[in-house]
A = this chain, B = another copy of it.
Amino acid sequence: MTATASAVGDDHMVGDARIDAAAPRTVTMAGALNQALADCLAADDSVLVLGEDVGALGGVFRVTDGLAKRFGDHRVVDTPLAESGIVGTAIGMAMNGLRPVVEMQFDAFAYPAFEQITSHLAKLHNRTRGAVSLPVVIRIPYGGGIGGVEHHCDSSEVYYTHTPGLRVVSPATPGDAYRLLRQAVKCPDPVIFLEPKRRYWSKESTNLVMDGPGIDRAVIRRPGTDVTVITYGGTVATALEAADAATAEGWDLEVIDLRSLAPFDDDTVAASVRRTGRAVVIHEASGFCGYGAEVVARLTEQCFHHLQAPILRVTGFDIPYTPPKLEQYHLPNVDRILDAVQRLQWDDTPVLPRSGTCA
């Protein structure tokens, strides 16, 4: 079943040509994504939007609101209910010159498409020595924090980041949602586009523009000197909150928004960690073999002699996503982040970690 809600503000006309994208305005992330899709559809006839309920309904999160009306249902297509079918046909369309933007309704409902994604979408360019390009974007609302029932709150990023051939990106702000989605649609590689559900309704006053940091670059959302906090998508805002709270403790946190999970922007992140000497990685997904493991492993190798303490992870527990009433216990929050920061051996007497520790 599906929680439906209008994430698009009513104070502006979404999916509407009358809006000048470059003028600053207050926009939700869902609204920014909607505008990005509208602008992509308007700019390029080869762009198609495909998915379940993306037409008349405008998607269960209303990200495609108004698009079918404006562009027609040959451009914004309510498909039959079959995710492997959606991705598989999108691959065929891309082989024939189109740029399909696919919506998966919720993370766990992308799993039926796993074979098409891993065995074809990720590999056809390589298989054909570059003869076939697949500029397909798969939009997946990911993560929890919205009180969703089982299967509606998975964080499935590692399934994709561990699959060579895919790009994986996730926006943290409305402005970046617009930018990243337009960049993703333009990108010749297949892109898994992870939309943090809990931030669909977050607002920002911003210009919606495509230029700025490239699709594969991380950005420093808050400069700081003591600890590098590395995160992406839904937990960037949490990290920024934690950074504010940390000032009271006298810690100056640098917050990095990865934006691109694959490839990883080593330059930006390693430079920060070498500067601060301490780092914490945050994500909602389970810790075990989670994305944070890669961040820790590569940065530890790259920055070993600069590290004052092991890089710690603040992640979801190693459990299936919780029922709605228990998600507060599962999700990384400010306290847990500050707790991890505190464990970064500030007194320089090594704290022997507890055995079996993970998060």
Residue positions of A touching B, CB distance < 8 A: 84, 108, 111-112, 114-115, 118-119, 122-123, 126-127, 150-151, 158-159, 161-162, 164-165, 262, 264, 266-267, 270, 285-286, 288-294, 296-298, 300-302, 304-305, 309-313, 318-320, 350, 352-353, 355-358
A10 to B100, CA, bound (A): 53
Tell me the smallest distance from the CB of A9 to a CB of chain B, in Å.
Answer: 33
On whether the beta carbons of A355 and B266 are closer than 8 Å, the reply is yes
Contact of A288 among B118, B161, B313, B320 (CB under 8 A): B161
A352 to B304, CA, bound (A): 8
A353 to B297, CA, bound (A): 13
On whether the beta carbons of A119 and B108 are closer than 8 Å, the reply is yes
On whether the beta carbons of B289 and A123 are closer than 8 Å, the reply is no
Tell me the smallest distance from the CB of A84 to a CB of chain B, in Å.
Answer: 8
A84 to B294, CA, bound (A): 30
In the complex, the count of this chain's copies comes to: 2
Could you say which residues of chain B place their CB within 8 Å of the CB of A355?
266-267, 270, 302
On whether the beta carbons of A313 and B297 are closer than 8 Å, the reply is yes
Tell me the smallest distance from the CB of A297 to a CB of chain B, in Å.
Answer: 4
Contact of A118 among B108, B296, B302, B352 (CB under 8 A): B108
What are 5 contact pairs spanning A and B, CB under 8 A? A111-B119, A158-B289, A262-B289, A266-B355, A297-B311
Contact of A305 among B290, B294, B318, B352 (CB under 8 A): B352
10 other A-B residue contacts (CB within 8 Å) besides A126-B320, A302-B353: A111-B119, A112-B114, A164-B286, A267-B355, A267-B356, A289-B294, A293-B294, A293-B296, A297-B300, A298-B358
On whether the beta carbons of A318 and B288 are closer than 8 Å, the reply is no
* In the A-B complex, the 5 residue pairs with the closest CB atoms: A111-B115, A114-B114, A296-B297, A162-B289, A293-B293
On whether the beta carbons of A297 and B292 are closer than 8 Å, the reply is yes
On whether the beta carbons of A288 and B164 are closer than 8 Å, the reply is yes
Could you say which residues of chain B place their CB within 8 Å of the CB of A304?
309-310, 350, 353
A297 to B108, CA, bound (A): 26
On whether the beta carbons of B353 and A301 are closer than 8 Å, the reply is yes
Tell me the smallest distance from the CB of A350 to a CB of chain B, in Å.
Answer: 4
Closest to A151 in B: B119
Could you say which residues of chain B place their CB within 8 Å of the CB of A311?
297, 300-301
On whether the beta carbons of B296 and A288 are closer than 8 Å, the reply is no
Tell me the smallest distance from the CB of A118 to a CB of chain B, in Å.
Answer: 6
On whether the beta carbons of A262 and B291 are closer than 8 Å, the reply is no
Could you say which residues of chain B place their CB within 8 Å of the CB of A122?
320
On whether the beta carbons of B300 and A294 are closer than 8 Å, the reply is no
Contact of A301 among B84, B108, B301, B310 (CB under 8 A): B310
Could you say which residues of chain B place their CB within 8 Å of the CB of A119?
108, 111, 151
A298 to B353, CA, bound (A): 10
A350 to B307, CA, bound (A): 12
Say yes or no: A162-B286 contact (C-beta < 8 A), given A115-B114, A267-B355, A319-B126.
yes
Could you say which residues of chain B place their CB within 8 Å of the CB of A300?
296-297, 300, 310-311
Tell me the smallest distance from the CB of A275 to a CB of chain B, in Å.
Answer: 14
